[in-house]
A and B are shown apart, each in its own frame.
Chain A
């Protein structure tokens, strides 16, 4: 699904990602954990085409991305739910969702109504609020809207940047349940999280990113048992 080799990227002259190699297989939930400023968001933006690669290679669904525009990458089937929600706050909830379907509009076999019903099924609250401006939703509802909007594009790979930030524990649990359901429905998910324990709890595999480098990788259960991970990210004292 996604294969990255020796990727380097950053802002201007600043190189944030240093020779990153990783992969995501179809049907997996892969999580990336790391401290603030480790470069997690930068990695997702680079894959999504918002930031240009400086070196290395990204291969998405069999296509090598070379200066591919962000719009094209969404069209290929890779959607990003960005950090900090980023809904269209001056536009209604329903229209937000319809905008998510932009890349699918006019394509064969895509039924916008049916897709919308699916989203409303996952997030019933969005149906009740569909006439409301997105900016007037609560933080959790906005997160659901951002996820729903990305799902409207029917992505093969969905990337989520810290979906649990600023949400009450109960809603965080809901969000993680939804990610599990997405996987059951055949989606592939790449999840960036501060909440390492919860993320590793639902993920198949994980990568640990530190100052732009991948320092540990492996099956999620192994990472949960790894002493370095426990000390640095799970806040557990090792005696």
Chain B
């Protein structure tokens, strides 16, 4: 466990500790001035891609559950936190890879249990009720995590090298962990789309999301599919939580921010559309990364909220979504 004593808005910068010295920080105002160079440009770009793809994974978690149930699971960010936390704790007793694998499995089980205990028995609950349940769950998980792990900021060790090792790509100095994040997240996205397209379980899940009544009439147990979708999104959230932990750190409440970003991205891409979520995630990540040269750091999170609000007002079916999906006027 590593303690982190910088004020919160510094963290964003210090996560990428290889920023060239030309970044000057004025702590009083929380702003910084930057001279844009090609070097800095690619540095920002990589930071944006890294964060963007993390947001995309959270958004895909939202989408999987949204597709099978029509609800937004606001506890999605907590799955990411749990994955990271379990892996960190388990890593004290076992090597990194089994610790991560076990953490993902435990989080998947928690996801399944949550569905079975809190969602499954509801016959045809209203959307609002389901959303309130998931918000309640996210608070519950956060409090339990606070109880177990405390307020401390923890992280997994770097998968390769340490916090100062770096690789040079396009004149940017990149931590190898950044490549891990991007690589693992891309693999998750690819495997997921193959899963949904080519396996019969994937087809059955798509069927449930397309038409639950018809799926039942085909003999598919729709409730099991919902449980499975909770497991799946808990699993990918947890895995993402593990790979990002060394650079973003893990804290009992880190899920909330991620959930907001992930939700923004999910809406931006069009709810339920996972491929669009990747594009939207990258877009948001890159906008955020470049905005630190313009907007005071303290307003960083305001950017995504602003985008979310604009999208909800102007294009509720998302940038890439069809207006058919907008027919779901519950939101």
Q: Which residues of A contact B (CB under 8 A)?
A: 48, 50, 69-71, 74-75, 79-80, 82, 86-91, 95, 98-100, 102-103, 105, 149-150, 153
Contacts and interface: CB of A to CB of B under 8 A. Distances in A.
Interface string B208-227: 01110111111111000000
B17 interface: no
Contacts, number: 63
A81 B321 CA distance: 31
Contacts of B209: 90
Given A86-B211, A105-B200, A91 B217 contact: no
A102 B219 contact: yes
A149 B218 CA distance: 8
B210 A90 contact: yes
A82 to B, nearest CB: 6
Given A88-B207, A90-B206, A99 B213 contact: no
B217 A99 contact: no
B262 to A, nearest CB: 23
A74 B211 contact: no
Contact of B211 (A88, A102, A103): A88
A90 B200 CA distance: 16
A6 to B, nearest CB: 25
Interface in B216-242: 216-221
A125 B324 CA distance: 26
A86 B217 contact: yes
B214 A102 contact: no
Nearest to B217: A80
B325 to A, nearest CB: 10
Nearest to B200: A105
Nearest to A74: B219
Contacts of B213: 50, 82, 86
B203 interface: yes
